Structure formats: C-alpha cells, structure tokens
Amino acid sequence: MSYKLFGIREELRQWVESREEALRPLFSRMKRIKENNTLRVMEALSHCGLRDMHFHSYTGYAYGDPGRDVTEEVYARVFGTEDALVRPAIASGTHALSLLLSGCLRSGDELLIISGAPYDTLHGVIGINCQNGATLTEKGVIYSEVALTEEGTFDAPKVKEALRSLPKMVYIQRSQGYSFRRSFTES
C-alpha cells in the first residue's frame, strides 16, 4: 500500500527506515537483555517454588504470609541481594530511603552525602533546615555533605578529606532529583 494515500512523503518514509536500520543493533541488544532478565526471573520463580497457593489472601497481621515471603525471596534472588522487602506499605522512594536510613543509622553515626544536596523530600528525613521531632539529626545522627564541583563531578580531594572521619554510611544520589545537574551513571 502506498504511503502517499496517507499524505506521507517517500523521503520521510525512507528517512524513518534508515533510522530504524541504524537503531537495529541497539534494539537487538535490548532484546537480549530482556530475554536474559526474563530467564533470571523465571529461574528465581522456579527455584523459590512459587505456586498458586501463594496468591491466596491471609488474615491477621501478615505473620506467616507465604505469598509475601516467597515474593521477597524471588526479588532477592533476581537482584542478587541478601534479602528483599516488597510491601505495598512503602508508598514512595523517599519512604523507602527513610526506612533504609533510619534502619541503618544510630545516634553518633555519620551520614556522608558526597553528591551534593539530596532530594528536597529527604531534607525532612535527615533534618536539613527542618526539625520535626523525628529527623535523623534529632536522633543524634551526624550529617555531612560534600558539594559537587562546578562541572557537576565528585570533588575527590574534599571527599577524601571527609572520609577521614570514617562515616557509617556514604550516600550517593545518582538521580539529578530536582537539580539541574546530570544524573550519574553506574560507570
């Protein structure tokens, strides 16, 4: 069928075709990644013994909920972690980070952020310009921050200096959040 029938010029069709051809290796790579990840999930589901019985609802306070337990075991296996917490009660990324920070840090521990200021929503969790009775700093956690360079990269000399205090946790915010810097890649 002719694209002219729909008002699409031949030059445009050829351009789209050439772009698709140029992107073919990328799509092929993405397909291999997808297949590999699908196999990882299928292996984890099989290894952990997920069955239809795990999808029945349970009453009470979720004690002994085999569906939740197996789901968390599957997540841990797929992502290669020691354990996993997969609950609908965790409402947002900030909520998850709050649980992580509160669970790992105690009074006297130092939290060092080496990627500049964290998300605005974490300010109330950490206690940056905020006191609500439940912040980490109010619980005795020491907060330190190393700003990025003007180029948006880690300030290695300042990070090295900050590490001399032997902080309990070094936090890197990969995402740009609401700032204008670029997100960090894994490399």
Tens-place pLDDT, residues 139-169: 999 999 999 999 988 999 999 999 999 999 9
The residue with greater pLDDT, 114 or 152, is 114
CATH architecture of 93-171: 3-Layer(aba) Sandwich (3.40)
- Give the pLDDT of residue 1: 63
Cα distances from 9 to residues 1, 17, 21, 139, 154, in angstroms, run 13, 13, 19, 66, 49
Cα(141)–Cα(98) distance, integer angstroms: 13
What pLDDT, on a 0 to 100 scale, did the predictor assign at position 136? 96
Taking only the tens place, the pLDDT of each residue in 78-93 is: 999 999 988 878 888 8
Q: Where exactly are the structural domains of the chain? A: 3-79, 93-171
**pLDDT score recorded for residue 171:** 95
Per the model's pLDDT, the better-predicted residue between 182 and 140 turns out to be 140
Radius of gyration of the chain (CA): 24
Provide the β-strand partners of residue 142.
110
